Structures are given as structure tokens and as C-alpha cells.
Amino acid sequence: MNTFTFTWVVQNEEAPVLLREYLKSKQISKAALTDIKFHGGALFVNKKEVTVRTMLNSGDEVTVWFPPEKKSSSMEAENISLDIIYEDPHFIAVLKPAGMPTIPSLYQPNGSLASAILYHYQINDIPSTFHAVNRLDKDTSGIVLIAKHRFAHSLMSTQQKDKVIKREYIAFVHGELKEERGTIDQPIARNPESIIERMISEDGQRSITHYEKLDFVEHLNFSVVSLRLETGRTHQIRVHMSSIGHPLLGDDLYGGKLEMIERQALHSEKTSFIHPFTGERILLVADLPTDMQQLWKHR
């Protein structure tokens, strides 16, 4: 069957138990069970198809067939080179270059990371569609983590809510930061006068960014900053750094100048998470891209 399957063996301490409750303990939601029931999935105990009302005993083998995944009609596979830094049966992580949108848009329908991933799936016979765990703005470079199936994506969404996933960025910002480190805790909302821009607003969602100054390039008057996010709002780093008077180099939307670099100087450097199927802590690291490396070297 052209789908993702999972198999568990019921342990002594878990039995007896209804299949419905057993699957709940494996973090398979009611919505997922409904999807399995009505959209081509199946549940098996000891290789016999069953319903969620089946009683399980110690030693029973439980297998879940998730429904076949359907590719979004707005996405087409494109033969675009990928810089893959991690891949296993459940996840793939790539380095997205600046200038590449994560997903297609009305303004840039071609050349997206999603289209490149779909092509990778197509040539490797991976029965999945695009499930981004995190997204980056078009002109932000760095790590994008993608789940290969809905179950993995659901588990990572839980990790995001529980703040298990850790993300760190490097940014170049105008001026010298007065404090070596600090925290910006300011709510962010959409600017009602723009379809793109965000702004600090009391009506916005709570947004928290921690920063630490790594270097100050005096003759070019910019600071190199490490940033760690507690929340993941659209444009969060860009809005927060601009709000304290230090917009990103190249970020003309939020007050940055284009004299030294023609895109926002922001790079997703590190991502870590607990692998939901192995329990291992995975750390992914991405070197600075050439444009930011060269700018920093000109100190």
C-alpha cells in the first residue's frame, strides 16, 4: 500500500486496553482516526483488520495504515537542487537559500522549497506531500525542517506548543546594542494597512525573542546577534529588533538599509528537537551563507 504505516507490540503493562485508548497513548488523535476510517486508512491487530473497539492483550501487534496523502493543487514538483542536511523515514531538513520562498505564492508560483521537496519525494517514491514544521521568509536563509507524513507533523506541532523545538538565528543589525543580552517581550499583529507588514500592537499575539550580542563591526556600524525564539510569529525577529532601534541590515520593510546586503541579514543557524519515534535529541547546524560570511569578515 502506497502509504505510511506504523507497528507497535502491546507490552504487559499496557494491557488489557481498547485499541482506541492504546492509539491515543501513541498520540494518534480522534481527527487522525476519523481520517483513517473514511479516507483509505486501516487498523490491524495481528494482521487482521479491526475497529477501534477491539480489546488488546499483551503481545498483540498493532499496525496503523495512514490514508494516502494528497498533494496540494497549488504545488507542482520542480527539479530544483536541495541542500539536505538530515533525512530519515520521518523527517527531512534542508538549507534554504535566501531568495527561495518556502511555499508557492501568487507573486512567486515557481521555484519554491515545497516544489523542490515534492520532486525529491517523486523521484524517491516517497508517498507524501509537503509538511513544513517551520517556515522561513523568502529572503531568510537556513534550516527548514519538514515532516514526511501527517503523523510526524502532528507530533512536531505538539513539540512546538510545548516549546521542545529550539531554534536559533544569527542576524546582523544596525548599530551597537547597549546590552550584551536581553529579552524582547512584545505582542505582534498584522499591520491593518498592509498585507505583508507586521507591527507591535497590544492587540497582537504575545511574542518573545531572546538575543545576545556576539560582535560589533565598528567601521560598518553593525552588530552580530544570536537570537532564540520562544514563539514563532511571522516576521518576529525583524519586527522585534526594529522595535528596539536595531533593524536588520537589508530589511527595508522594517527600517533596515540595503547598502551592505540586499536581503535581510537573517539566518536560521540551529534547530533541535526530540525525535518523536526514537527519543533522540537531534541537533541541526547550518553555517552562515557566503553573503553574510563575507560581510562579517570585512571587519
Catalytic residue numbers?
A: 137
Rounded to an integer, what distance in angstroms lies between the CA atom of residue 236 and that of residue 241?
8
Give me the residue label for grid cell 541542500.
Answer: 83
CA 22 vs CA 32, 59, 62, 97, 232: distances in Å: 14, 13, 9, 42, 32
CB count in 10 Å sphere of residue 143: 23
Give the N- to C-terminal CA distance of the chain in Å, as an integer: 57
Q: Is the distance from CB of 229 to CB of 167 less than 8 angstroms?
A: yes
CB count in 10 Å sphere of residue 183: 12
Q: Is the distance from CB of 90 to CB of 148 less than 8 angstroms?
A: yes
